[in-house]
Chains A and B, each alone.
Chain A
Amino acid sequence: MTAARTIAVWPSEVTAPFDDLYDALDSLLPEHHLDAFDDLDGLPDVLSERSPEAVVLVIDPGSVTSIGDRTIATVLATLGDHPDVSIAVIAGDGYLGTDGVTDASCLLGAMAVSGVRSLALRRHRPGRSNVFCVPQSAYDTSTSLRGPIAQPTETVDVANALAFLLDETGRYVSGDVLYVNGGRHLFSSHTA
Chain B
Amino acid sequence: MSNQTLPSPGPDATDAEHREATLAVVTGGGQGIGAQICRRLAADGYHVAVNDLVPERARAVVDEIVASGGRAMSAVADVSRSEAVDAMVDSLEDVAGPIGVLVNNAGISSNVAVRNLTDEEWRRVQAIDLDSAFFCTRRALTTMRDARAGSVVNVTSRAWLGWWGQSAYAAAKAGVVGATRALAVEVASRGVRVNAVAPGLIETPMLRNRSAEALERLTVSVPVGSIGTPADVANAVSFLASDRARVITGQVLYVGGGKNVYAYPDWPDRP
Contacts and interface: CB of A to CB of B under 8 A. Distances in A.
B250 interface: yes
A150 interface: yes
A160 B250 contact: no
B223 A172 contact: no
A70 to B, nearest CB: 25
Interface residues of A, number: 40
A192 B250 CA distance: 10
B223 A183 contact: no
Among A122, A149, A152, A180, the most chain B Cβ lie within 10 Å of the Cβ of A149
Contacts of A157: 246-248
Given A175-B261, A176-B260, A186-B184, A125 B224 contact: yes
A151 B247 contact: yes
A186 B250 contact: yes
A122 B250 contact: no
Contacts of A148: 184-185, 188-189, 249-250
Interface stretch (B57-65, B119-127, B228-236): B228-236
Contacts, number: 121
A181 interface: yes
Contacts of A172: 200, 224, 226, 228-229, 232, 255-257
Interface of B: 181, 184-185, 188-189, 193, 200, 220, 223-226, 228-229, 232, 235-236, 238-239, 244-251, 253-258, 260-262, 264
Given A121-B261, A148-B188, 11 more contacts: A120-B261, A126-B224, A148-B184, A148-B185, A148-B189, A151-B247, A170-B235, A174-B257, A175-B254, A178-B253, A183-B248
26 contacts: A121-B223, A122-B223, A123-B225, A123-B264, A125-B258, A148-B188, A148-B189, A148-B250, A149-B188, A149-B246, A149-B249, A163-B244, A169-B236, A172-B257, A173-B256, A174-B223, A175-B256, A178-B251, A181-B247, A182-B188, A182-B247, A182-B249, A183-B188, A185-B250, A185-B251, A186-B185
